């Protein structure tokens, strides 16, 4: 798999989509996602970028095992509040991404508490201390 929007690396197929994906781009991502049993989905303010939010919803509705990573704020959860696995890195800089990778491979356990309320979903101070 190799083209403008995708590539393979270290046993993973990576499919890129823009912050505000156009319809054809979103359709390509959804079509490709159907080929996999597990999805690792990264979003960046999907709650504020409607085309990205629609794509997140479409991917979640595929009912695949999905690890959803919000690369900026925890408010992406508004896009699909029923997500089963949701991680917020609070940024996409190298230290945050390194920590995320260490969590994903089981080197470290995630731990964290929400610094803000996500009204109607979670209260400030809620969080996780174990990865199962």
Question: Whole-model pTM above 0.95?
Answer: no
Domain hosting 11: range is 6-128
Q: Does 1 fall in a domain?
A: no
31-42 pLDDT, tens digit each? 999 999 999 999
Look at residue 37 and tell me if it is in a domain: yes
Residue 20 placed within a domain = yes
DSSP letter string, 27-82:
HHHHHHHTT-SEEEEEESSTTT-HHHHHHHHHHHTT--EEEEEESS-GGGGGG-TT
Give the pLDDT score at 11. Answer: 72
What number of CA atoms fall less than 13 Å from residue 96's CA on the CB side? 13
Domain count, the chain: 1
**Can you give the CATH number for the domain in which 13 is found?**
3.40.50.1700
pLDDT tier at 128, thresholds 50, 70, 90: confident
């Amino acid at each position: 798999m190799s083209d403008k929007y995708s590539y393979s690396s270290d046993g993973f197929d990576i499919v890129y989509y823009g912050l505000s994906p156009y319809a054809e781009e979103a359709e390509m991502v959804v079509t490709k996602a159907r080929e996999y049993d597990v999805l690792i989905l990264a979003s960046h303010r999907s709650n504020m970028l409607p085309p990205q939010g629609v794509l997140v919803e479409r991917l979640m509705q595929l009912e695949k095992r999905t690890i959803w990573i919000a690369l900026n704020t925890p408010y992406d959860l508004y896009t699909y509040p029923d997500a089963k696995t949701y991680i917020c890195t609070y940024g996409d800089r190298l230290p945050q991404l390194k920590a995320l990778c260490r969590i994903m491979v089981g080197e470290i356990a995630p731990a964290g508490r929400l610094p803000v309320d996500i009204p109607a979903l979670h209260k400030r101070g809620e969080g996780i201390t174990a990865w199962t």
